[in-house]
Amino acid sequence: MSERLNVGEICTREVAIAFRDTDLVAAARLMREAHVGALVVVDEMPGKRMVAGLLTDRDIVTAVIAPGLDPRTLNVEDVMTEPVLTMDEDESLIDLLRMMRDKGVRRVPVLGAQRELVGLVTLDDALEILAEELDLLVGAIGSEARRERLRRPAV
């Protein structure tokens, strides 16, 4: 990792995807099989996948289950969130955290130079990186105390 972390460095590159016409039950099964809470909905273009929307487990619960709709009659496109907030892979971790806070999102598709899907970054990914950085700070504090004890032993 570089000194200035960017979204491309911390995102998951293997993304669970669905298409607009994927039936909703199949999408839910895909989430279960992949152990994920969201699918990035994509449109296929020659050689790349373009982000069309995002389908979360919460979307299914609030838009389909809670109002009593039959999920067997719906496709991903009927329930997905669009437009989706995205970030370029070279944007900073700080920019990501600000956007997540300001917009109230926990999952953000990451785009490459041609606006194609290259990954997905989640709040969990960001927390893992921040935990590592906090661990480095704690280590620095402990190191300073050890150095102090060696330089100036107790009397």
Cβ atoms 6, 91 nearer than 8 A: yes
**Tens digits of residue pLDDT in 15-68:** 999 999 999 999 999 999 999 999 999 999 998 999 999 999 999 999 999 999
What average pLDDT does range 96-100 have in this prediction?
A: 94
Cβ atoms 40, 122 nearer than 8 A: no
Phi-psi region of 115 (alpha: psi -120 to 50; beta: other; left: phi over 0): left
**Tens digits of residue pLDDT in 66-83:** 999 999 999 999 999 999
